[in-house]
Amino acid sequence: MNTIFLYSLAGLATLIHNWLGKFISSELGLHILELAIIGLSLIVFLVLLCFFLGYMERRVAAFMEIRLGPNRVGPQGTLQIVADTVKLLFKEGLTPNSSDKFLFNLAPFIMVIASMMAIAPIAFAKDFQIYDINIGVLYVSAISSISVLGILMAGWSSNNKYSLLGAMRSGAQIVSYELSVGLSLISIVILSGSLSLGDIVLSQQNGWWLFKGHIPILISFVIFIIASTAEINRAPFDLAEADQELTGGFNTEYSGMKFAMFLLSEYINLFIVSAIAATLFLGGWMPFHIGGGPSSFNHIMDLIPSSIWFLGKTFTIIFIIMWFRWTFPRLRVDQLLNLEWKYLLPISMVNIIIVTLIAIMGWHF
Amino acid sequence: MRGLIEENIITEDGEFILNIGPQHPSTHGVLHLKVWLDGETIKKIEPHIGYIHRSIEKMSERLSYRNFIFATSRMDYLAAHINNEACALTIEKALQIEATPRAKFVRTILSELTRLASHQLWWGCTGLDLGAVTPFFYAFREREAIMAIMEETCGARLTQNFMVPGGIMTDIHPNFQQRTKDILEQIKGKYKEYDDIMSGNVIFENRTKGVGYLSKEDAISFGVTGPTARASGVSCDIRKWNPYSAYDQVEFDEILSNGGDCYARYQVRMKEMRQSVSIIEQLIDNIPEGDFQEKTKMVIKLPKGEYYQRVETPRGELGVYLVSDGSANPYRIKYRSPNFSNLSVLPAIAKGYKIGDLVAIMATIDLVIPDIDR
């Protein structure tokens, strides 16, 4: 009984549903209440996740930079980020006089909403998914492109020259890199034959696509990691912020909680990108199996809960993206666009053709 | 459109005016650059200086010959020893005395340690300006050790006041030699780390190769000196051409490159660090015994006349021009500071490049703003 509970969290959802049903008779009311519970728990989860990612980033940075990082507030400095959030909460949320006040205040919300919406189709564990929308991959890539709107709004409405330059850069960057992200996602869609993230995970039951899809999928995995790092504006592609050139770029004029919201959305985006990469290429919550290997090994792998598998893969990719940030210098704006249009895009296009060929001929495992 | 022109946001030609500085992370001080942009491309640059002018030259006219030296520690604060040395050498030249052999050796060792520390800081800041934060911490690991030696020997970490007319202020600390040898060993072991994280990085190479080209003719006509000029093929190392202190007793190479771009300037400085290490290694075990200071009068009065002495700071040629009227205070002092001349070339070489390149060019010219304004 215990092991079954570990493997499927569907039981938990049914349990809560039945328990709430005792108190609320109307079907519609029950649905609304459940939606509210899901929404609230999601927001709490994401905020806690961002606390953790903020802490992780600072410790990873410290590790790369031969220093200690936060280690005073709470055990091993874990509460440092809480202290920082409290500080940001009490800071004055300045709105510059010459700014477009409505857009200026709206921009951080758009950023956060766009990031949070993209979490819906992600499968956190077996049978534990908010909404297995049948066009999941398309939905995520569509929602994630809304964030460019937030950056452009923030940059334009600040009425600051640095912010405007940052927004300009970010517009060009996100629109171009979306192509490569999309094409590398499509290569998995071709192989698995479904846009639903749930189905894509299930299609990797006998091996992850990274292993099953030969070298072309390896290439599209690398392209996905590079292009999505650029799409979420993280170093070495953080041209929209570019502290040393544009003194913070699009968020130069923001302070207090409004600034924190940009950080929040950056970390949620980081998580989503890594979760999508883990789901599509590394099998999501599927455990690691050796095909034809000793069954005892595969059985031990099965004992590890599926959520651990999913989070483990996701955080490995997050660590790699953080690793980029603390080791590479920043690209220049023309080099950034050259990288996309001259290298990544042609490679992904050829790659797509090869993947299609593999799928048609059935050469994949 | 008219409104934007009147508010000085764009020009009549539609160029976007951006004020970089006086407070900006990559100007490394209070330098104000007015930049005319076409999109991201730089059309014109106008440096505005004077935000940290402390009138050190005028102040020195009211100070005695012993005291004015220490104001120069605040000029190029990354090369305090070398600035002090330049002034001390000028006074020695006027008095027609020479520092004791022991003082000469210690001066040279301290100058080279200063150069190492300065180049370390420059290396870290170059990484920082190009968006890589980690090199900064790597550089500070070694720089802190050098600063600790300075602290032990002269009591200060940044604005050291150790060089006096006739020699050095006090004798060196007993630990000085051993600790210097330790830091040399440490730095020698880290060259590979530096190259791994910065020099060999493909993004770094793309950001610096072919960027900010300075031709040999331009370097000479703008009066550019130091590693910036040597990267354009101008042989201008004062330590070679006009040896002072113990530089005539050591073997070292003047690093020259014909690249003229940011990458060449970077490589020249990286190789200079190796040369500095080798200079110190030749001297550290051979410091002669004897007095650390030549006897001078309590109140120094220079004979009437004009005196000029130049030294090689980490950023180029520092010249001290001193006019004496025979009294106990200098009549006029003029410093030929390397950063002022090096800054003058920035508008010429940054034109046509992007904002990101401007940051890279400023980083590799290695400007120290208080030295420009004085």
Structural domain including A146 reads: 2-8+96-361
Contacts of B359 in chain A (CB under 8 A): 244-245
Fill in the amino acid letter for B248.
Answer: D
Is the Cβ pair B206, A335 closer than 8 Å? yes
Mean pLDDT in residue range B81-94 = 90
- Per-residue pLDDT at A8: 63
Residue A199: phi and psi, rounded to 5, are -65, -35
Q: Which residues from B are below 8 Å from A64, CB to CB?
A: 134
Kindly state whether B197 is in contact with chain A, defined as any CB-CB distance less than 8 angstroms: yes
Report how far apart, in Å, the C-alpha atoms of B75 and of each of A289, B57, B121, B336 are: 66, 10, 17, 11
CB contact under 8 A, B128 and A61: no
Reported ipTM: the value is 0.81
Q: Which domains does chain B have, with CATH numbers?
A: 2-48 (no CATH), 56-373 (1.10.645.10)
Q: How confident is the model at residue B355 (pLDDT cuts 50, 70, 90)?
A: confident
In a domain, A334, yes or no: yes
Shortest CA gap B330–chain A (Å): 42
The CB density around residue B80, as the number of other CB atoms within 10 Å, is: 28
Put simply, whether B350 touches A (Cβ < 8 Å) is no
Residue A19 lies in a domain: no
* Alpha helices (H) in chain A, listed in sequence order: 2-7, 10-21, 27-64, 80-90, 101-117, 136-144, 147-157, 161-192, 197-202, 209-212, 214-231, 243-246, 256-281, 295-303, 306-327, 333-338, 345-361
Asked if residue A148 is part of any domain, the answer here is yes
Q: Identity (one letter) of the amino acid at A55?
A: Y
Tokens of A114: 């766009």
Q: Check residue B321 and give its pLDDT.
A: 92
Interchain proximity B137–A65, CB inside 8 Å? yes
Q: What is the pTM of this model?
A: 0.86
Chain B: give the shortest CA distance to residue A242, in Å. Answer: 7
Whether A70 is in a domain gets the answer: no
Q: Which range has the worst mean pLDDT, A92-101, B47-56, B356-365? A: A92-101
According to the model, what pLDDT value does residue B52 have? Answer: 86
Q: Is A48 a member of any domain?
A: no
Phi/psi at A65 (5° precision): -100, 30
CA distance A61 to A115: 24
B266 in contact with A, Cβ within 8 Å: no
Chain B: give the shortest CA distance to residue A215, in Å: 24
A vs B: CB pairs below 8 A: 82
Residues of B in contact with A334 (CB under 8 A): 40, 354
pLDDT of B129 = 87
Residue A75 covered by a domain: no
Does residue A85 lie within any of the structural domains? no
- Measured distance CA(B19)–CA(B10) in Å, rounded: 12
Count of structural domains within chain A: 1
Question: Does some domain include residue A182?
Answer: yes
Q: How far is A212 from chain B (nearest CA, A)?
A: 31
Residue A245 is nearest to which of B19, B133, B356, comparing CB atoms?
B356
Cβ-based neighbours of B370, under 8 Å, separated by 6 or more: B29, B52, B54, B74, B75, B76, B77
**Residues in contact with A11: Cβ distance below 8 Å, sequence separation at least 6, in sequence order:** A4, A5
Question: What pLDDT is attached to residue A38?
Answer: 83
The whole-number pLDDT of residue A37 equals 84
pLDDT digits (tens, 9 = 90+) for B131-186: 888 888 988 888 888 999 888 888 888 888 888 888 888 888 888 888 888 888 88
Q: What is the pLDDT of residue A4?
A: 39
* Per-residue confidence in pLDDT tens, chain A, 365 aa: 334 344 566 677 778 778 887 777 777 888 888 888 888 888 898 888 888 898 888 888 898 888 888 888 878 888 888 888 888 888 887 888 888 888 888 888 998 888 888 888 888 877 777 777 888 888 888 888 888 888 888 888 888 888 888 888 888 888 888 888 988 888 888 888 888 888 888 888 777 887 777 788 888 899 999 998 888 888 788 887 777 777 777 888 888 888 888 888 889 999 999 999 988 888 878 777 766 666 777 777 777 777 888 888 899 999 999 888 888 888 888 888 888 899 989 999 998 998 888 888 877 76
How is residue A216 written in tokens? 């072309």
